[in-house]
Structure 1
Amino acid sequence: MKKLNDEELMILVSKGDLDMMTILFDRYHLKIFNYVLKMTRDREISQDITQEVFYKAIKYRASYKKGKFSSWLYTIARNVFSDHYQRQKNKDQRIDDIVYRMEDQQIDTVEQNETREQLHKALDKLHDGDKELIVMNRYQGIKYQEIAEITGSTVGAVKTKVHRAIHKLKDHYLQNI
């Protein structure tokens, strides 16, 4: 059964074969966890949200309409995260910000921490939608087409929004230097 693709497995799950969800969970739980972790920067909250994503995937399995499984699952993750954020917002708590991953291993630890702090401040100035696009595209490596499906947008609009979000991040980052 592990040779079946994600969509075939999810069709079996939607027809009641819940054992197939184990395979999908194995394939996607780390991706979903890392996506949520980049948004929350809190391991416990990310674990809870990841668990809720898969719970909802099982609960609403009948709503799966044979599209791309990963897009469907990321849409659930996005909605669960948004619900969590709204609950936190209602409690007057602030969501933690994203720290953009540093690619350059040449920078020493002090400089790297300083750079991360500056980037953290720059990300703090971005709207949540811009942060989300940067996380999906740059951290998760999700292609524009799939982000468009997840967000209910067009590929062209997603490309434009990602491009603009990166420029906003760059502008805010350079102001902090």
Structure 2
Amino acid sequence: MHHTIMRAQSGNKEAFCELVSTYYQTVQRFAFQIGVTSEEVEDVTQEVFLKVYRSLDSYEGGTFTTWLYAITLNTARDMMRKQQRQRRKMEKLKQKHNSKTYSTLDVSEEAMELHELIQELDVKYRVPLVLHYFHHLTYREISEVTNTSESGIKTQVMRAKKQLKAKLEKEGGQA
């Protein structure tokens, strides 16, 4: 993959298309998991790859996925700020589209319930939890993505698990 990144940095459009093809679903899934609504996931994903294209020459090595997750997180945060201003007006429409996203992603009912409970977590707990358990990033990588200390990330993941367990027990599920 390093060779593909270097080719894309030198302006090779096929190499950039290969990067998009390789990471597109990962970006979509991460954006959705951290709270971007189903109707905005595609826009965020496209914006992420536009930013990647524009700033590829500033990528200085290291883990490409960590760099990509950071761009996705920042883009998603920007989009979520916009969404918060429109949330009350769009609530009914949001629920309708979320069910479409679940069926499009072929997600089980349990996974939908878990997703909804994760969405209730504060973003500072939700992001590290999603990156660690669903995208398999190490605490160190998550600290790079979020610009938080590694020990802070461990604490946030632990608290997220505790809160999620409490929510599951409250809902009558097993923890």
TM-score by length of 2: 0.74
Q: How far off is 1:173 after superposition?
A: 2.8
Larger deviation: 130-139 or 85-94? 85-94
Following the alignment from structure 1 to structure 2, what is the Cα–Cα distance between the partners of residues 116 and 34? Answer: 13
Following the alignment from structure 1 to structure 2, what is the Cα–Cα distance between the partners of residues 121 and 26? Answer: 28
Question: Hey, what does 1:56 align to over in structure 2?
Answer: 51
The unaligned stretches of length 5 or more in structure 1 are 99-108
Superposition pairs of residues 1-177 of structure 1, within 5 angstroms: 5=1, 7-40=2-35, 42-93=37-88, 117=113, 119=114, 122-123=117-118, 125-177=120-172
Following the alignment from structure 2 to structure 1, what is the Cα–Cα distance between the partners of residues 135 and 49? Answer: 18
The answer to whether the 8 Å contact 1:121/1:176 transfers is: no
Q: How far off is 1:16 after superposition?
A: 2.4
TM-score by length of 1: 0.74
More helix by share: 2
Following the alignment from structure 1 to structure 2, what is the Cα–Cα distance between the partners of residues 64 and 120? Answer: 32
Q: How far off is 1:171 after superposition?
A: 2.1
Percent identical among aligned pairs is 25
Question: Hey, what does 2:103 align to over in structure 1?
Answer: none
CA deviation map 1:37-62 (0-9, x unaligned) = 22347444211211111111001122
Following the alignment from structure 2 to structure 1, what is the Cα–Cα distance between the partners of residues 66 and 5? Answer: 12
The answer to whether the 8 Å contact 2:36/2:79 transfers is: no
Following the alignment from structure 1 to structure 2, what is the Cα–Cα distance between the partners of residues 58 and 26? Answer: 13
Following the alignment from structure 1 to structure 2, what is the Cα–Cα distance between the partners of residues 56 and 84? Answer: 14
The answer to whether the 8 Å contact 2:33/2:119 transfers is: no
Following the alignment from structure 2 to structure 1, what is the Cα–Cα distance between the partners of residues 27 and 126? Answer: 16
Cα RMSD, aligned residues only? 2.9
Following the alignment from structure 1 to structure 2, what is the Cα–Cα distance between the partners of residues 21 and 33? Answer: 17
The unaligned stretches of length 5 or more in structure 2 are 99-107
Letter in 2 for 1:62: D
- How many residues are aligned here? 158
